[in-house]
Amino acid sequence: MTPTTTDQPTRRPSGALVPVLAFAGIVVAVMQTLLVPVIKDLPQLLGTAPSNATWVLTSTLLSGAVATPIMGRLGDLYGKRRMLLTSLAVMVVGALVSGLTDAVLPMIVGRTLQGFAMGAIPLGIGLMRDMLPREKLGSAMALMSSSIGVGGGLALPAAALVAQHTDWHALFFGAAGLGVLAIVLTLLVVPESPARAEGTFDVLGAIGLSAGLVLLLLPITKGSDWGWSSGTTLGLFAASAVVLVLWGVMELRISAPLVDLRTTARREVLLTNLASIMVGVSFYVISLVLPQLLQLPSATGYGLGRSMVVAGLCVAPLGLTMMFTAPVYARLSARYGPKATLITGLVIIGIGYGGGLGLMDAAWQTVVTSVVIGAGIGLAYSSLPALIIGAVPASETGAANGLNTLMRSIGTSVSSAVIGMVLTNTAQTVHGFTIPTMHGFRVSFLIATAAVALGLLLALFLPRQRPAAVPQLRASSEEDAALERAEEALRGFRGRVLGADGAPVARAKVTLIDRRGRQAGATLSAQDGSYALAVPSEGPYVVAAMATGHGPHASSATHPGDDGTVPLDLSLPGETVTA
């Protein structure tokens, strides 16, 4: 059996790889909260009802949820860097569309295109997984995972500054400029990953997922207008359930699904994904509530009467704290495991929302709330990839993390729709203007607290993972001994990649190919040339290796299916130069 080869990276990844990918993640995450500073004015700015204006935010989150598995799968098939650039280009087009309109429908179209760029987050994680050495992967993935919150938090003060001093359409032109900058940096710094998956793109799966999520969120947003017991509302909920169930059945029956639902059969994966939805819900609530509370006039009796810029600055610690918790997470997880880190993060979020119910009387109190909740969300978001990777075989990590990112996106989408509905239903009309009430703000915080409590309950039932159970997420060389013990316990192939002169080859791409010619796993060799690949089952495999400056090499080997490792060294010939 001859393995399918792929092109090697055109160049080795530089030290700027992680910052550039994180910047791209932050840029696309900015789209989530770009309009939050002007959310209370959107109905007037667009000449539409408040419930319709809610879709200007919800459409971005919804398209982000759909884009996550779509772009992840396309990246596996056609190249992660290529799809990352495509995602950023779509975002730029969407920003320009929104920047040139004052009508609600074109605005929603543009915002939908902007949200579709959220697929850049899993693509960035995939590029890191394919190219970074294992000792750097943990902190890098934590930073990329947290970029969703970092971008959303940092967008608030910047967007407020722009909206207060210029026309609000300038927000979109600024976002387009950031997108162009991210494209240029990606072209200059990020090489293409050589990993490619076999199979085809699941078009029906993409359509089914999109239809199911739209049918779910539409009645949540419009239910108060139509009536919660009306035939339209109940019919759409029923249609959503039917479509999502049929979609799930179809995904389980095809060989190359858009979302590999088979990974959810494991208890730890299912519980982690459900907890991820709760974290996504809790993240977006604070971004919607605090800016509006801060900007409402003090004449209301509860508004804090602050400008857009001050409101943005008060909520900015949400993103800044998330950024600073990424390296903290790597140390905590290495010592106590990702489950303990997730539980700690959820407890901190719960404390933030619980305390926030009584800290709404001054601007400094909202800053405290933002700092506490930001720290908790940063820890929780950073823990999720480690929990997933530690629960599935190496060959399933891409599909499993894509599904987890989808769950987080669904959480933020549901949060936007539900909180928008709550604030609309509890609003009061003053001098012809509809404004949210303190009761609506408190109910929103209670919803977030309940979501965190449910997430904490789910996290408590996760099986404990020892730190050594996730060796590819180590961030410190102090764990080398534990890493070696973990690799020795691996069921699969283990050995070294050597050059023609017998010297170890670092950062060689080692790929595991099953009997059907499909990729079953991949890794990079360490500085000493060592590698370890898990196998999903017993049987014959091909282990192929390639590295810049060397010719490719493939060896056939059979794994007996027990819990041991099969030693297999790979010797790469010198690179053949042709005229």
pLDDT band at 198 (very low <50, low <70, confident <90, very high): low
In the predicted structure, residue 143 carries a pLDDT above the cut 70: no
Q: Rounded mean pLDDT of 172-178? A: 90
Cα dihedral 393, 398, 404, 409, rounded to 10, equals 180
Q: Please, which pLDDT band fits residue 439 given cuts at 50, 70 and 90?
A: confident
Per-residue confidence (pLDDT) for residue 475, from 0 to 100: 36
More confident of the two residues 174 and 144: 174
Average pLDDT of the chain, as a whole number: 77
* Average pLDDT estimate for 420-444: 80
539 in helix, strand or coil? strand
CATH 3.30.365.10 at 491-571, yes or no: no
> What's the average model confidence in pLDDT over 128-136?
70
Tokens for 423?
A: 């604030």
Residue 209: how many other CB atoms lie within 10 Å = 24
pLDDT at 182: 92
What is the mean pLDDT of the segment spanning 376-385?
A: 81
Mean pLDDT of 330-348: 81
Residue 156: count other Cβ atoms within 10 Å of its Cβ.
Answer: 28
Higher-pLDDT residue of 548, 91:
91
pLDDT for res 181: 94
What angle, 0 to 180 degrees and rounded to 10, lies between the N-to-C axes of helices 363-389 and 317-336? Answer: 40
For the stretch 341-365, pLDDT in tens is 889 989 999 998 888 888 878 888 8
Cα distance between residue 493 and residue 570, in whole Å? 11
pLDDT over 70 (residue 130): yes
pLDDT value at 542 more than 90:
no
pLDDT at res. 393: 59
**Phi, psi dihedrals of residue 146, rounded to the nearest 5°:** -80, -10
What's residue 456's pLDDT? 92
For residue range 406-424, what is the model confidence (pLDDT) as tens digits? Answer: 787 778 777 877 887 788 7
- Are 285 and 419 in contact by the 8 Å Cβ rule? The answer is yes
Cβ atoms < 10 Å from Cβ of 266: 16
Res 89 pLDDT > 90: yes
What was the pLDDT predicted at 6? 42
Residues whose CB falls within 8 Å of the CB of residue 288, separated by 6 or more in sequence, listed in order:
36, 39, 57, 415, 416, 419, 420, 423, 444
CA distances (Å), 42 to each of 54, 108, 169, in order?
9, 12, 12
Contact indicator for 367, 448 with CB cutoff of 8 Å: no
What does the pLDDT read at residue 454? 93
Residue 37 has pLDDT above 50, yes or no: yes
pLDDT one-digit tens code per residue, 448-505: 999 999 999 998 888 765 543 443 433 333 334 434 444 444 578 888 888 877 788 8
Task: Report residue 523's pLDDT band, with 50, 70 and 90 as the boundaries.
Answer: confident
Q: Which residues of 60-92 are buried (b: 16+ CB within 10 A; e: fewer)?
A: bbbbbbbbbbbbbbbbbbebbbebbbbbbebbb
- The verdict on pTM exceeding 0.75 is no
For the stretch 78-87, pLDDT in tens is 888 888 999 9
Three-state helix/strand/coil letters over 229-273: CCHHHHHHHHHHHHHHHHHHHHHHHCCCCCCCHHHHHCHHHHHHH
pLDDT tens digit string along 148-171? 666 666 676 777 777 777 888 888
pLDDT at 326: 63
User: Is a pLDDT exceeding 60 seen at residue 114?
Assistant: yes
User: Which whole number is the average pLDDT over 188-198?
Assistant: 77
Spell out the CATH class of 17-202+254-469: mainly alpha
- Confirm whether 17-202+254-469 and 491-571 share one CATH topology: no
Domain definitions of the chain by residue range? 17-202+254-469, 491-571
